[in-house]
Amino acid sequence: WYQGESNIDSPHHYADYLTALAESWRQQFGRKVPFVIVQLPAYKDHHYFPLETGWTRIRHEQYIAAQRIPNAALVPLLDTGESNDIHPQDKQIVGHRVAMQMKHLAYGEQMPFAQGPRPYSACIRDGKIWLRFIPESGTLIARTPLQGFCICAGGTYQWTKAQIVGPHTIILDLPANTKATAIRYAWDDFPLPSLYNTDGLPAPQFEINVR
C-alpha cells in the first residue's frame, strides 16, 4: 500500500481506514494476505523547528496501522524523495525494501532486520531519557551525527541531543526541571534521517511515550 498523499487534509483517522481496508481485503480473499505499508517519503521543505503537518501525521498513522494489523509491515522512506516532486525518483530502493518485507511475511524467509530500528520503551533515569529498540530490528548505527530527536514537555516539542550507547539503546538529553512525556524522531516533511541499522535500513518517523 503506497498511498496517503491525498489524505493529508484529514489525516487523523487514517490508521483506522488502513486497518479496515486490510480486514476487508482479507475477508474477500479468504486468507490473511501480507499487508505492507510504505511510509510517505521526504517531500516539500526541511524545517529547523519541530512542527506538525498533514504529511507528518499521515506517516504516524501509517506507523500505527503497521503495528495494529496482524501480518503487516512498514517500509520507511525518510531517506528518499525530492522536495519538488511528490513521486520519488528512486523507485529501486522502494521495490527492494518492499521485497524484503514480502520475503519475510509471505515466504517465511528469516529476515529479522527488514523493518529497520523500532523503539519499544522510553524512560527517565539519572536525568536522561533512555530510549530502547527491539533487538530483532537490528543494531543501531548513525550514518551522520545523530539528529532529528525532540521531546515533548508541557505540550511543547523541542529538539534534544541524542547518543547511541549500546546496540539497541539511545540516550537523550533532558533539560533540568523538565518533565518529558513523549519523544518524536524525524518529525518533518523533509527530515534529515540519521538513525539506521547495520543492514542499512532507516528507522521510520515515530513517536513514543516516556514512562
State the Cα–Cα distance between residues 95 and 207, nearest whole angstrom. 26
130 forms beta bridges with 123, 171
Which pLDDT score is estimated for 116?
A: 87
pLDDT band at residue 128, thresholds of 50, 70 and 90?
A: very high
**Digit-coded pLDDT (tens) for 6-28:** 999 999 999 999 999 999 999 99
- At 36 the three-state DSSP class reads strand
Which pLDDT score is estimated for 113?
A: 66
pLDDT band at residue 129, thresholds of 50, 70 and 90?
A: very high
Mean pLDDT of 192-203: 94
- At 62 the three-state DSSP class reads helix
**Digit-coded pLDDT (tens) for 152-168:** 988 899 999 999 999 99
**Digit-coded pLDDT (tens) for 93-119:** 999 999 999 998 999 887 756 678 999
Instruction: Please give the backbone phi and psi of residue 189, each rounded to the nearest 5 degrees, phi first.
Output: -60, -45
CA–centroid distance for 67 within its chain:
11
Q: What is the mean pLDDT of the chain?
A: 94
**Digit-coded pLDDT (tens) for 49-73:** 888 999 999 999 999 999 999 999 9
> In the structure grid, which three cell numbers stand for residue 66, read together?
503497521
State the Cα–Cα distance between residues 137 and 114, nearest whole angstrom. 7
Which pLDDT score is estimated for 82?
A: 94
State the Cα–Cα distance between residues 153 and 175, nearest whole angstrom. 10
Q: What burial letters (b/e) apply to 33-52, b meaning 16+ CB within 10 Å?
A: ebbbbbbbbbbeeeeeebee
Which pLDDT score is estimated for 154?
A: 84
- Return the percentage of the chain with pLDDT > 90, whole number: 86
Q: 55 with 189: CB under 8 angstroms?
A: yes
User: 169-173 and 119-125: which strand pairing?
Assistant: unpaired
Q: 104 with 54: CB under 8 angstroms?
A: no
User: 180-185 and 206-209: which strand pairing?
Assistant: antiparallel
Which pLDDT score is estimated for 136?
A: 86
State the Cα–Cα distance between residues 73 and 87, nearest whole angstrom. 21
Mean pLDDT of 170-196: 95
